[in-house]
């Protein structure tokens, strides 16, 4: 497994991972018509735009000999939570590559990038019914907020896990 910074040429594979992850993770949580309506072309355009923005999120990918199988994005917090300034805005792995350490590696790399940019705390918003949310607890995240988010015409509960000292996630060198 290799972790590296994403580049605009990675947009198609990142969009594919994103779409596949939504289909496997959110089935039965997010309305199925919404998931079925997600389009690969829209995802590619979205990620190409994000990866070419000078002030956009920091995006990293996890890959093996078959190519990119996961990614994470981080930067300034998008949905404010008192006491936190940085955010893990996205982290997705295809199902076949979960529970192998890639998620932890991606999270630690985003944490390191946040520390390098002067951020002190980090949050990640997760749908409350996401079966993978225990991952954040195992990484030391503590639930710090809750809110509703509208997806597909339905308001779903989401929770924020936070690390007040994001540097605690960065491995010592």
* Nearest 10 degrees: Cα torsion 131, 119, 2, 134: -20
Question: How many other β-carbons are positioned within 10 Å of the β-carbon of residue 139?
Answer: 18
pLDDT of residue 173: 64
Per-residue pLDDT of the chain (173 residues; tens, 9 = 90+): 999 999 999 999 999 999 999 999 999 999 999 999 999 999 999 999 999 987 778 999 999 999 999 999 999 988 888 889 999 999 999 988 888 889 999 999 999 999 999 999 999 999 999 988 999 999 999 999 999 999 999 999 999 999 999 999 997 76
State the Cα–Cα distance between residues 168 and 39, nearest whole angstrom.
37
State the Cα–Cα distance between residues 45 and 71, nearest whole angstrom.
16
Residues 6+ away with beta carbon under 8 Å from 107: 72, 88, 91, 139, 169
Residues 6+ away with beta carbon under 8 Å from 67: 13
Domains and CATH numbers, the chain: 2-169 (3.40.630.30)
């Amino acid at each position: 497994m290799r972790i590296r910074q994403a580049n605009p040429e990675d947009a198609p594979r990142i969009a594919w991972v994103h779409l596949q992850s939504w289909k496997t993770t959110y089935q039965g949580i997010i309305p199925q018509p919404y998931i079925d309506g997600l389009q690969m072309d829209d995802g590619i355009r979205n990620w190409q735009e994000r990866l070419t923005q000078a002030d956009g999120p920091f995006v990293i990918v996890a890959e093996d000999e078959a190519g990119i199988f996961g990614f994470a994005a981080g930067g300034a917090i998008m949905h404010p939570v008192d006491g936190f300034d940085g955010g893990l805005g996205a982290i997705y792995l295809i199902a076949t590559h979960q529970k192998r350490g890639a998620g932890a590696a991606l999270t630690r790399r985003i944490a390191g990038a946040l520390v390098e940019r002067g951020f002190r705390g980090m949050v990640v918003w997760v749908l409350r019914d996401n079966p993978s949310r225990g991952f954040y607890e195992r990484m030391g995240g503590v639930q710090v907020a809750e809110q509703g988010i509208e997806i597909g015409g339905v308001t779903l509960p989401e929770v924020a896990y936070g690390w007040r000292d994001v540097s605690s996630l960065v491995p010592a060198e």
